[in-house]
Amino acid sequence: MSKQHQFKLVLLGESAVGKSSLVLRFVKDQFDDYRESTIGAAFLTQTVTLDDQTTVKFEIWDTAGQERYKSLAPMYYRNANCAVVVYDITQAASLEKARSWIRELQRQADPSIVITLCGNKSDLSARRQVSEEEAKKYAEEEGLMWGETSAKTGEGVTEIFTAIAKKLPLTVAPSARGARPGAPGRAGVDLNRQANTTPGQGEQCNC
C-alpha cells in the first residue's frame, strides 16, 4: 500500500537570493527573470516520489527576505519539519545572513528540524564570492545538508528537495518526528545535480 507523508518546509534567506525562483522551478519547472519581492510569505505545495510505495508532499512556505518581515519568520518555521536556508553564491554577505538564520533555527525551531544550506545562482559561477569549500565546511560543522542550485537552469533543484525528502523520518508519523540534532543521521550531506518535477499551486514570490 502506498504511503503519502506530508511535511512543512520553510525557505529562509536574504531578499533576492532566489528563494521564490527556487520554489517556482521546483513546483512548476518555470523561471521568471523579473519576479516581484515576496510580501510576507507565499504558500505552495509539491510532491516528491521516493519509490513505488512512498511519496512526500511538501507544504512550502516561501518567506519574504526583507528585514521588515523578519519578525514574521517564527510563525512560518515554528513546527516546520525542514528548512532550506538560501544564499547567493555571488554575494558573500548573503552567506553571513544565512548563518544567522541557521543560528536562529537551531535556537528556536523544533529540535528535529532538518536544515539544508543552499547556495543558489550556480549559473553565475564566474562571479562567485562564496567557495564550495567554505560553505561545505560550515555545513559539515553544523550538521546541515548542503548543495548548490541554479533556479535559472534548474541544476540541482529537484535533487536538493528529493534529498530532503529522503532525510525526513518517514518511519514515524510527522507529528512524532524523531532525529535529534546531534544524531549521526544529520551529518553534512553534499548534494549536487539536475532534473524536473510536476506542477503545484500558488505563486507570487521574490527572486
Spell out the domains of the chain, with CATH numbers in brackets: 3-167 (3.40.50.300)
Task: Give me the pLDDT at residue 197, please.
Answer: 36
Which pLDDT tens digit goes with each residue over 125-143?
999 999 999 999 999 999 9
pLDDT at 1: 65
pLDDT, position 145: 97
* Res 200: pLDDT: 38
* Predicted TM-score of the model (pTM): 0.82
**What local confidence, expressed as pLDDT, does residue 156 receive?**
98
Low-confidence ranges of the chain (pLDDT < 50): 173-188, 193-207
Dump pLDDT digits (tens) for 6-30.
999 999 999 999 999 999 999 999 9
What DSSP line would sit under the chain, residue for residue? --EEEEEEEEEEESTTSSHHHHHHHHHHS---SSPPPPSSEEEEEEEEE-SSSEEEEEEEEEE--SGGGGGGHHHHHTT-SEEEEEEETT-HHHHHHHHHHHHHHHHHS-TT-EEEEEEE-GGGGGG--S-HHHHHHHHHHHT-EEEE--TTT-BTHHHHHHHHHHHS-TTS-GGG----TTSGGGS-EEE--B-------------
